[in-house]
Amino acid sequence: MTCATPRFQNSDDLPHPPCDIPEPAMPFLSDTLSRVKPSPTIAMTNKAAELKAEGRDIIGLSAGEPDFDTPANIAEAGRRAIAEGRTRYTAVDGIPELKRAICVKFKRDNDLDYTPSQVSVGTGGKQVLYNALMATLNPGDEVIIPAPYWVSYPDMVLLAGGTPVTVACGIAAGFKITPDQLEAAITPATKWFLFNSPSNPTGAGYSWDELKALSEVLLRHPHVWVMTDDMYEHLTFGDFRFCTPAQVEPELMGRTLTVNGVSKAYAMTGWRIGYAAGPEALIRAMAKVQSQSTSNPSSVSQWAAVEALNGPQDFIATNNTVFERRRDLVVAGLNAAPGVTCPVPDGAFYVYPDISGCIGKTSAGGTVIGDDEAFATALLEEEGVAVVFGAAFGLSPNFRVSYATSDAALEDACTRIRRFCEELR
Ligand SMILES: Cc1ncc(COP(=O)(O)O)c(C=O)c1O
């Protein structure tokens, strides 16, 4: 029996349904689902994995996670939690020990005073962001999102019934929103300003002065709340100093949700622990959403996160030295490719080169590079390098490289990208 054509928007993202189970008729699926698209980063990662399985020599630069193992003391805390039987349901939005560790972290790293009742713990930063949007958005509510953005923001807003309002922040502005742009985007329907620093996909970080200038706009619009995604706080380089809105402008504290997590800084992507701090009424509403969806995040992972936040922090600097070296290697390698301009990022483990100079040309394999998706697809097929095209992040023509992989793989990838660009006609 042959499979019916999968009805998903992108069959790379979702498994094909088994042949002998009838697919539901389309009206069975919710209208909400039709508004969102599957993650393009996962699609590229899957496509690369497929080619690899066929025996092709593929370098994957599309995954957004550190290539380091979870530090031994943290993994041991997880094992200890199992051995000690800490394997039952916990309080919905986090054990008290973790909430206390998060408060200590906010004081230590950001000079922010939060109490445990102002803290929410979820299954990754992703769930925490989603809970906050679900808990606050009504139809017609707008969320301002600077583009390029993390792929999930607009879709999460749509899933929660709101309207994403994206603001293009180009390479000339360092991929950052200006106070004038923010002012112009605010309407009476604006509920949140949602942003991320250092950024996935650009690595751009907002300085203290830049956040102060944005705060001044926000102070003029008391109905707008701030959702700051600080997931890459600890992955910063050189002179860049991380700061967060509630720290820069304490008057915003009462309408700011400061989101963070252990995934990136502690190489704990699979443990699934994220957290946020903000006004108690919002935190309670987020717990309500979580209580009727997933309940508590994994008990074992919560105990590992307590150790991550309370234990030694020195490996963060060690990892950053590695990431900074790779950043420099990739920036130099990409800037050597004709038609590519790669700015130097402040943090995270991504670069987001502009490829205006490649658009309209034809690859050695005969693909017309009409846009960044065509560029990324031809690059994967012809040179075996998997990157994510810029349209996925809302700003083109660009592509995102995740440099959380070995120096040798990065050098090889840069050589291939350079060759691909040199051969464009
Ligand atoms: C900007 C940003 N925010 C949030 C997340 C979610 O992280 P978590 O693994 O904690 O769900 C990611 C993960 O890629 C991210 O890049």
**Which is it for the CA torsion 357, 358, 362, 365, positive or negative?**
positive
Which of 251, 282, 312 finishes a domain?
312
Instruction: Give a yes or no: residue 360 inside a domain.
Output: yes
Global pTM exceeds 0.85 = yes
- For atom 13 of ligand 1, which residue has the closest CA? 64
pLDDT of residue 24: 62
Distance CA(225)–CA(37), nearest Å, equals 26
- Same domain? For 253 and 186 the reply is yes
The answer to whether 197 touches 348, Cβ cutoff 8 Å, is: no
Which amino acid is residue 350, in one-letter code? Y
Which of 284, 312, 340 finishes a domain?
312
Where is 246: in which H helix or E strand? helix 245-248
- Same domain? For 254 and 397 the reply is no
Which of 277, 312, 347 finishes a domain?
312
> Which residues, 6 or more positions from 260, have their beta carbon under 8 angstroms from its beta carbon?
105, 125, 230, 231, 233, 274, 275, 276
- Same domain? For 321 and 308 the reply is no
- Same domain? For 220 and 356 the reply is no
- Same domain? For 229 and 197 the reply is yes
User: Range of 45's domain?
Assistant: 36-65+315-423
Distance CA(342)–CA(197), nearest Å, equals 18
pLDDT of residue 25: 63
- Same domain? For 238 and 363 the reply is no
Q: How many angstroms separate the alpha carbon of residue 420 from the centre of ligand 1?
A: 31
Ligand 1 contacts (CB < 6 A) are 64, 124-126, 150, 196, 200, 229, 231, 261, 263, 269, 274
Q: How many angstroms separate the alpha carbon of residue 19 from the centre of ligand 1?
A: 34
- Same domain? For 252 and 386 the reply is no
How many other C-beta atoms lie within 10 A of the C-beta of residue 108?
11
CATH code for the domain of 198: 3.40.640.10
Instruction: Give a yes or no: residue 209 inside a domain.
Output: yes
Q: Which atom of ligand 1 is nearest to the CA of 232?
A: 1
pLDDT of residue 17: 45
How many other C-beta atoms lie within 10 A of the C-beta of residue 56?
12
pLDDT of residue 62: 86
Q: Which atom of ligand 1 is nearest to the CA of 150?
A: 1
DSSP state of 414: H
Q: Taking phi first (over 0 means left), then psi (-120 to 50 degrees means alpha), and beta for anything else, what does residue 360 get?
A: left
SS3 category, 86? coil
Q: Which atom of ligand 1 is nearest to the CA of 127?
A: 11
Where is 380: in which H helix or E strand? helix 372-383
- Same domain? For 134 and 221 the reply is yes
Which amino acid is residue 227, in one-letter code? M
Q: How many angstroms separate the alpha carbon of residue 370 from the centre of ligand 1?
A: 30
What's the first-to-final CA gap in the chain, in angstroms?
45
pLDDT of residue 46: 83
Distance CA(151)–CA(201), nearest Å, equals 9
The answer to whether 133 touches 340, Cβ cutoff 8 Å, is: no
DSSP state of 226: E
> Which residues, 6 or more positions from 167, have their beta carbon under 8 angstroms from its beta carbon?
144, 145, 146, 147, 177, 181, 182, 185
10-residue stretch averages of pLDDT, the chain, 425 residues long: 34 41 72 80 81 93 89 98 98 98 98 98 98 98 98 95 97 97 98 98 98 98 98 97 98 98 97 98 98 98 98 94 97 98 97 98 98 96 96 96 95 98 98
pLDDT in tens, 273-313: 999 999 999 999 999 999 999 999 999 999 999 999 999 99
Q: How many angstroms separate the alpha carbon of residue 290 from the centre of ligand 1?
A: 18
392: exposed, middle or buried (Cβ count in 10 Å: 0-12, 13-18, 19+): buried
- Same domain? For 327 and 275 the reply is no
Instruction: Give a yes or no: residue 72 inside a domain.
Output: no
Q: How many domains does the chain have?
A: 2
- Same domain? For 320 and 239 the reply is no
CATH code for the domain of 42: 3.90.1150.10
pLDDT of residue 64: 85
SS3 category, 129? helix
Q: Taking phi first (over 0 means left), then psi (-120 to 50 degrees means alpha), and beta for anything else, what does residue 111 get?
A: left
Instruction: Give a yes or no: residue 179 inside a domain.
Output: yes
Q: How many angstroms separate the alpha carbon of residue 63 from the centre of ligand 1?
A: 12
- Same domain? For 142 and 291 the reply is yes
Pocket test for ligand 1, best of 123, 133, 197, 264 (most atoms within 8 A of CB): 264
Instruction: Give a yes or no: residue 371 inside a domain.
Output: yes
- Same domain? For 400 and 286 the reply is no
pLDDT of residue 137: 98
User: What string of DSSP letters covers 179-203?
Assistant: HHHHHHH--TTEEEEEEESS-TTT-
